[in-house]
Amino acid sequence: MADLEELVAAHVRDIPDFPQPGILFKDITPLLDDGPAFRAVIDGIRDANGDFDVVAGVEARGFLIAAPLAYAAGVGVVPIRKAGKLPSKVVSASYALEYGTATIEMHADAIAPGQRVLLVDDVLATGGTLLAALGLLRDIGAQVTGVSVILELAGLGGRARLEGWPLHTVIAV
């Protein structure tokens, strides 16, 4: 796993003052641009998470992880989207942001009760979005077998908010 951490670290670039002054943005697009490195990360996440029936990815960059991961595992993929983006009956969860609230949704029939779900996103920061997604999955009766992200921003407290959930991160910075 140390090799995978080094690979990710070598493919994440820092962008100062984005999206606003004082923020140091961790950009994973160089990782996505490198086919062998991206494949290694997808395979590493798949291998670290045991058995699951479906992958749920959080909009938007979580989709970039969820779809190839589901393909590599031979399972389906379910999008968890921002409110108002899905055409059928949905379940939703709202969560607090530093500047207001946001709502995420998924199709109500996308995951059957008891189905084993791996929830993925690109980055774990404060944990608000993932916690809301976990609540959504719990409320519909899904069995969350894991939560996985490529990059954990350790100083922002997301891990503590997800205490009790099986969390896997490729690298923490």
The CATH number assigned to the domain holding 122 equals 3.40.50.2020
Parent domain of 141: 2-80+111-172
- This prediction's pTM: 0.95
Please check the confidence at residue 98 and state whether its pLDDT lies above 80. Answer: no
Does residue 13 have an active-site annotation?
A: no
Does residue 116 have an active-site annotation?
A: no
Query: Which one from 6, 13, 98, 138 is the annotated catalytic residue?
Result: 98
The whole-angstrom separation of Cα 33 and Cα 135 is: 32
What total number of domains does the chain contain? 1
The whole-angstrom separation of Cα 152 and Cα 126 is: 9
Question: Has residue 162 been placed in a domain?
Answer: yes
Question: Has residue 103 been placed in a domain?
Answer: no
- The confidence score (pLDDT) of residue 2 equals 74
Question: Has residue 92 been placed in a domain?
Answer: no
The whole-angstrom separation of Cα 2 and Cα 123 is: 19
What's the one-letter identity of residue 92?
S
Confidence of residue 78 (pLDDT cuts 50, 70, 90): very high
The sign of the dihedral angle between the CA atoms of 151, 154, 159, 161 is: negative
Query: Which one from 5, 13, 61, 152 is the annotated catalytic residue?
Result: 61
